[in-house]
Amino acid sequence: MKQKLLILISALIIPFIILSCKSSVNEPDYLDDAILSSLIESDDAILNFDENFDDGDATSFLVGKVQTDLYPIKVGRRITKMERTFDRQVVGDSAKVTVTTKFTGYLIIAGKFNPINPGDTSYLPDTIITKPFVETVKRNVTFIRTSSRNDRNRGWKLQAISLPEGSTSVKNIQITKIEALVPGKDPLVITSPLDTYFFVGDPNKDLPSRKRNDEVTLKVYLTSNSPKEDFVTLTYGRKIAGQTYKIKRKLNLVSSVQVGDKWEKVYQGGWNIFVVHPLGRFHSVINAVTNETIFSVEGNVSSSTWGIPYKVN
């Protein structure tokens, strides 16, 4: 009789324990991947980084060189796959999430094997080189949970975003510092992207604010394994309603100093907010690839990427 009673009690208790455990794992306020994706992909700045990382095709640069395997005329990235994963730390009503995005695609280089004169727009490429690559970009994002928890995101909202930092597995080049200089304003100096945060909606800590016709000077500091000039670009703006308000610019080498077996270099160029730049939240992409990546047929893709979100009002 006692044995039957024990079996009956166990049959009643065990399902309750299982249901209790399941409930604690899938609690109503849990910050799951679906909510994270919804919040992140609804932020215009983060979304614009993904858009600007993908050139879709090669862009004209006219960067002809001598003593090289290939004379590039157009260079660009075409992304074929994007995978995002989340590493979260949730404490009460706040959370810090490291967002890792893996971009898979091809670097497209259109050029000629015969020498060309830089700046001569009459040249047309007769050779197209495609180089497969995978670049992994990380960004930290913080979230807070509000008292209203009846929406589809269970009360969670995006609080702050860090700057992104990415690279390929081949690390022959590395961005180390970025400066954005605007006349009459304090310079924006970035040395650690993942530790640099902008707080959404905070007037004192929100994205850097720019106005149309602002003239910004961008300086990119990097370390390279090659003494040759690397290929450093700035992409910003956006395509809206079929219209292209997007610019990709090549930065110029202004300094190169050998330190040990590496070269510390500085590149500089204009980041001007053109007069028809749309209003809103955006994200620049600052990318550096080695000389061998662009000017050699056989060279693997070695890339380093940072970026700066900004708003135009």
DSSP conformation letters of 254-279:
EEEEEETTEEEEEEEEE----TTPPS
CA angle 165/169/172 to nearest 5° reads 85
Structure tokens at 142: 């913080």
pLDDT value of residue 21: 42
How many whole angstroms separate alpha carbon 108 and alpha carbon 129? 6
pLDDT value of residue 276: 84
Which phi and psi angles does 36 have, rounded to 5°?
-60, -45
How many whole angstroms separate alpha carbon 199 and alpha carbon 293? 36
pLDDT value of residue 53: 95
- Mutual angle of helices 33-41 and 44-53, in 10-degree steps: 80
Structure tokens at 256: 């190169």
Cβ atoms of 257 and 270 closer than 8 Å: no
The neighbour count for residue 88, using CB atoms within 10 Å, is 16
Residue 67 Cα distances to 113, 114, 115, 131, 283, angstroms: 11, 11, 9, 21, 36
Structure tokens at 225: 């394994």
How many whole angstroms separate alpha carbon 155 and alpha carbon 147? 7
pLDDT value of residue 69: 63
How many whole angstroms separate alpha carbon 71 and alpha carbon 62? 9
How many whole angstroms separate alpha carbon 99 and alpha carbon 39? 12
CA angle 19/20/22 to nearest 5° reads 65
Structure tokens at 311: 């708003």
How many whole angstroms separate alpha carbon 216 and alpha carbon 269? 9
pLDDT value of residue 139: 97
| Local confidence pLDDT in tens for the 313 residues of the chain | 444 444 444 444 444 344 444 333 445 567 899 999 999 989 999 999 999 999 886 565 544 443 456 777 788 899 999 999 999 999 989 999 999 999 999 999 887 777 666 655 566 777 888 999 999 999 999 999 987 676 788 889 999 999 999 999 999 999 999 999 988 888 999 999 999 999 988 988 999 999 998 999 999 999 999 999 999 999 999 877 666 788 899 999 999 999 999 999 999 999 988 888 889 999 999 999 999 998 888 889 999 999 999 999 8
DSSP class of 208: P
The distance of Cα 34 from the centroid of its chain, to the nearest Å, equals 21
- Torsion over CA of 153, 90, 193 and 164, rounded to 10 degrees? -40
Cβ atoms of 209 and 313 closer than 8 Å: yes
pLDDT value of residue 257: 98
